[in-house]
């Protein structure tokens, strides 16, 4: 089962990367509403999000359903760290405390 938990966490990470790419895309100016939603960044972000969904479905074949939301909460950690490196967002003491709480919750729920 550990292998599928890792697949699940990779899926959550890929989904987080997709969110960051979509956030980066919002910074760009577009000529029309259609080009705003059909530009390469947005299309790529949704494509990898779709792959993430497929991986999640695959992992759910072996990961208990009750563990899914717990593992999914790791996305908050991924998005915060990726936001720091890719978007230069600040990580304050409250965010660090929140990430520690999430991590402890994941660890406690895993046992």
pLDDT in tens, 16-72: 999 999 999 999 898 898 988 899 999 999 999 999 999 999 999 999 998 999 999
pLDDT at 107: 87
Rounded Cα gap, residues 6 and 12, in angstroms: 10
**Domain regions of the chain by residue span:** 2-110
pLDDT at 80: 94
- Single pTM value for the model: 0.89
> Which residues, other chains included, contact 4 with Cβ-Cβ below 8 Å and sequence gap of 6+?
58, 59, 61, 62, 63
User: Which two structure tokens, joined as six digits, stand for 111?
Assistant: 């046992």
Section 81-91 average pLDDT: 95
CB 5 within 8 A of CB 61: no
What length is written for the chain? Answer: 111
CB 38 within 8 A of CB 81: no
């Amino acid at each position: 089962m550990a292998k599928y938990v890792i697949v699940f966490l990779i899926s959550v990470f890929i989904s987080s990367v997709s969110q960051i790419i979509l956030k980066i895309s919002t910074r760009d100016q577009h000529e029309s509403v259609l080009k705003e939603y059909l530009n390469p960044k947005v299309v790529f972000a949704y494509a990898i999000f779709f792959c993430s969904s497929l991986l999640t479905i695959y992992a759910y074949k072996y990961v208990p359903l009750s563990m899914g939301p717990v593992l999914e909460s790791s996305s908050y950690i991924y998005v915060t760290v990726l936001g720091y490196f890719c978007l230069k967002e600040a990580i304050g003491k409250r965010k660090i405390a929140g990430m520690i709480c999430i991590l402890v919750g994941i660890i406690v729920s895993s046992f």
